[in-house]
Amino acid sequence: MKFTKMHGCGNDYVYVDCTKEVIPNISETAIRVSDRHFGIGSDGLILIKASDVADFEMDMYNADGSRGKMCGNGIRCVAKYVYDHGLTDKTTITVNTLSGIKTLKLTVEDGKVSKVRVDMGEPELIPAQVPVKASVLGLADDRREAIVAEPLEIKGRSYDITCVSMGNPHCITFIGEDVRDFPLEEVGPVFEKHELFPERVNTEFINVIDKDHLRMRVWERGSGETLACGTGACAVAVASYLNGFTGRSVDIELLGGHLEVVYDEKTNHVFMTGPATEVFSGEIDL
Ligand SMILES: N[C@H](CCC[C@H](N)C(=O)O)C(=O)O
């Protein structure tokens, strides 16, 4: 199998051009290639496919083989791949995902994509649509209001959580201590598998630096800690605005880099701008 290794702010995936390759047993292949000792090493596997409803299709799998419905860092790299490798010469493209069709604007420097702005669409706040089982928090399961700053006890500590879907489920909590010192590997898995989240959850731990800047670490569903999470950064920007901690435009500092996110008032869409990097290409016998 021919592949290309790419990352968005250090959130790295193995990309396969499925307009040319066919992948057997995709979930097992995702597990195999993601292994950082016995495989290529990545946060997961992303297939780039032709589409009859958009310019291209992105099909994304986490490192544990579970299928993701959307990937913000991944879709920026898909855009870079298709332009840099000559599959398109358009600088505005559409990519179909399991969470709908996304529109991307490419910044080209010296003939290659350096930055991508993604229209991530509208956040979903109705608990049952995230999905979140609100009754676990003592709220009505058919609640339609967003879950914002509700207390949840994890390993003896109470966290105020806000729940947002960007096509995939996110639980956001703002904490006082520096997230870079936070025991993420102990606490992340407890959130991920909590009964509150029937489809598991991606969890973001946030410091508010000021009204325009946030610092973030993330424990991803199906991949563990990653250096960045694009859908997570978008969910965080919405959560931070809903909690009154920031305005609608924020710079988010992640372990692997920065993402600019705007939660647009007029369209209620979230726009994310960030880099996309190609590291190397290779071939692996499956
Ligand atoms: N782990 C996520 C998919 C990858 C999201 C993340 N890497 C991003 O950049 O959005 C999920 O299962 O919902």
- Closest ligand 1 atom to residue 232 Cα is 10
Cβ contact 105:120 at 8 Å: no
Cα(155) to ligand 1 centroid in Å equals 25
Mean pLDDT calculated for residue range 249-268: 98
pLDDT at site 230? 98
- pLDDT for 128 equals 98
* CA 167 to centroid of ligand 1, rounded, Å: 10
CATH architecture of the domain with range 2-120+274-283: Roll (3.10)
Indicate which residue's Cα is closest to atom 7 of ligand 1.
229
Average confidence (pLDDT) over 44-63: 98
**Same CATH topology for 2-120+274-283 and 127-268?**
yes
Which of 222, 192, 194 has the alpha carbon at shortest distance from 205? 192
CA of 171 to the centre of ligand 1 (A): 13
Q: What's the mean pLDDT in 47-73?
A: 98
Confidence of residue 254 (pLDDT cuts 50, 70, 90): very high
**How far is the centre of ligand 1, averaged over its atoms, from the C-alpha of 176 (Å)?**
25
Which of 223, 234, 261 to probe ligand 1 with, by most ligand atoms within 8 A of CB? 223
pLDDT confidence band for 70 (50 / 70 / 90) = very high
ipTM: 0.97
pLDDT at 71: 98
Contact assessment for residue 165 and residue 201, using Cβ atoms and an 8 Å cutoff: no
In this predicted model, which residue has the larger pLDDT, 24 or 203? 203
Looking at the domain 127-268, which fold is it?
Diaminopimelate Epimerase; Chain A, domain 1 (3.10.310)
Q: Give binding residues for substrate as ranges.
A: 11, 62, 72-73, 168, 202, 220-221, 230-231
pLDDT tens sequence across 134-155: 999 999 999 999 999 999 999 9
* Cα distance between residue 192 and residue 200, in whole Å: 5
| Arithmetic mean of pLDDT over the chain | 98
3-state per-residue secondary structure call for 166-224: CCCEEEEEECCCCHHHCCHHHHHHHHHCCCCCCCCCEEEEEEEEECCEEEEEEEECCCE
pLDDT confidence of residue 94? 98
Residues 6+ apart with CB under 8 A from 176: none
Q: Which one of 71, 76, 165 would you pick to mutate in the ligand 1 pocket, going by the greatest count of ligand atoms within 8 A of its CB?
A: 71
**Quick one: pLDDT at residue 125?**
98
Mean pLDDT within 93-105: 98
* Residue 223 CA to ligand 1 centre (angstroms): 8
User: What sign does the CA torsion over 35, 104, 125, 27 have?
Assistant: negative
Convert the pLDDT of each residue in 196-247 to its tens digit: 999 999 999 999 999 999 999 999 999 999 999 999 999 999 999 999 999 9
Residues within the annotated binding site?
11, 62, 72-73, 168, 202, 220-221, 230-231
Domain ranges of the chain: 2-120+274-283, 127-268
Catalytic positions: 71, 229
Alpha helices in the chain (DSSP H): 26-34, 72-84, 184-192, 230-242
Closest CA to ligand 1's atom 4: 71
Question: What residues line ligand 1, using a CB cutoff of 6 Å?
Answer: 11, 62, 68, 71-74, 168, 202, 220-223, 226, 229-232
Residue nearest to atom 11 of ligand 1 (CA): 68
